[in-house]
Amino acid sequence: MALVGLGGSLFWIIESTTWDEVDTELTGVAQAITSTIHPPRRSSGGRRPPPPTPIPRTYRRRIDNGELYYLIWDRDQNIVEKVNTEQKFVYPKDRESIQTDTPFKIQKEIEREIIIRGPRARLILVGRNIEKEKKALDQLKFNIISIGVGILTLGLLGGWWISRRVTRPIDSMSQTAEEISGFQFDQRIETKTAGPELARLGKVLNAAFDRLEQALHQQTQFTADASHELRTPLSVILTQVESSLKRVRTEEEYQQTLEACQRAALRMNALVNDLLMLARSDVKQLQLQKQEVDLKELILEVLQLLEPLIQEKNAKIDFDSDSLRIEIDPKRFLQVLTNLVQNALIHNPEGLSIKIYLTQLESSAKITVSDDGVGIPDEERSKIFDRFQRVDQARNRKTGGSGLGLAITKSIVEAHGGEIACLPHAPKGTTFEVSVPSIKNNTE
């Protein structure tokens, strides 16, 4: 619209200027003609009127060449003089409005005329052919339209080209995203050729794709590991049943078979329960029954439950702490503390020393469980909370674990809004630190 308005304004200005110049020319000729008309004679004794002034040569030459035409009406509407035209003219009806210094303009198809009032109540009409001007204006109109169309076309083409350059990185991102959604997880969005804003978007998307790939990889690994863990007790049950069905067994042999199947079923049931709890934790549906609990009493309960294993391992427990009350789910948190202490007892040699500390911080409570056992290699420490993760030969299936204990522990701690970390313990051993929001933090 701006282009149309600019072109229309330009044409209107030039057209108005052209007709103003023509009108000025015709008015000059008409005024020159009025000077040739004899004024009325004055009464006797008056001064003689000045003689008429001849038409200037410039105008006379154009009249003689036929470029201009004119005629003069008297007060009785009669044409008293007519030059260079055979047209029929009608005397102006509104002649009273015609003045000497204000020409009356007439636009015809190929002529333009003006009328002014002269001496002795005469009207002078002067006109000329304007085909040349009309052709020039038509050509100008064509040129303006052509230029406008050209500019518009160039603008559209330029806008299309620019938009293609701008949207090319977006198209590339979309294509890459579609490929990734088709499980081509090795693909990533190219950010070097994109602008700063799109480059930042590409990096964010690439980071999201990295997390997605890692999550899917973990899910695939988790499914494979879960299948492997479930296959072992199922194989035990099938083997025992098939062996018993081959021939008749004694009552004692059937009893042994049923006991073996029961142990396998219990192991499988425990694994399924663990997997179910992890699945609920993943979708933030792990139900917690929180209440105010004394952590010291909870740890003493854990040590009492594990007393047979502590004696078997000849372990030394160092725990002496004041009461520390926090709001937690006691059943779930009992599982956390049991896992940490039991892991230290199971995966380390006899004569182990375990130290347990409770610390009240400004907005949280910290629980530290340290042992002086074989420890965990630095490169494996970040993986121990992964599901079905077993670090070394000291921590393998021979101990009877499924590799889900620490993963479950982390899920429970995080469900309480806390954190858990595994730290190196000099000169040997392992330290686990658990921090959860204290009652003070929960009430603020």
Provide the residue ranges of all domains of the chain, joining segments of one domain with +. Answer: 2-39+49-129, 196-282, 291-443
Cβ 322 vs Cβ 294: under 8 Å? no
Buried b (16+ CB within 10 A) or exposed e, 424-433: ebeeebbbbb
pLDDT at 444 over 50: no
Per-residue model confidence (pLDDT) at position 229: 66
Lowest-confidence pick of 82-96, 202-216, 405-419: 202-216
Contact in structure between 77 and 91 (CB atoms under 8 Å): yes
pLDDT at 176 over 90: no
**CATH number belonging to the domain at 291-443, selected among 3.40.50.10490, 3.30.420.40, 3.40.50.300, 3.30.565.10:** 3.30.565.10
State whether residue 142 is helix, strand or coil.
Answer: helix
pLDDT single digits (tens) 256-274: 888 888 888 887 777 777 7
Phi, psi angles (nearest 5°) of residue 365: -115, 135
Is the model more confident about 140 or about 379? 140
Whether the link from the prior residue into 54 is cis, omega within 30° of 0, is no
Rounded Cα–Cα distance for residues 254 and 258 (Å):
6
For 155-305, list the strands marked E by DSSP.
291-294
The structure tokens 């040739």 sit at 36
Q: Which two tokens stand for residue 291?
A: 């209440």
Nearest Cα to Cα of residue 80 among 122, 26, 126, 28: 122
Report pLDDT for 285.
67
With 80 as the cut, is the pLDDT of residue 132 above it?
A: yes
Q: Do you find a cis peptide bond into 49, omega within 30 degrees of 0?
A: no
Q: What is the mean pLDDT of the chain?
A: 81
Residue 369: Cβ within 10 Å count: 22
Band of residue 51 on the pLDDT scale cut at 50, 70, 90: low
> Is 196-282 a CATH 2.130.10.10 domain?
no
Average pLDDT rounded to a whole number, residues 232-255 = 83
Per-residue model confidence (pLDDT) at position 95:
73
Checking if the pLDDT of 298 tops 60, the result is yes
For position 221, what pLDDT does the model report? Answer: 65
d(C-alpha 81, C-alpha 117), whole Å = 15
pLDDT at 242: 84
- Sign of the dihedral defined by the CA atoms of residues 201, 202, 204, 208, in that order: positive
- For residue 149, give both structure tokens: 């169309």
pLDDT tops 90 at residue 3: no
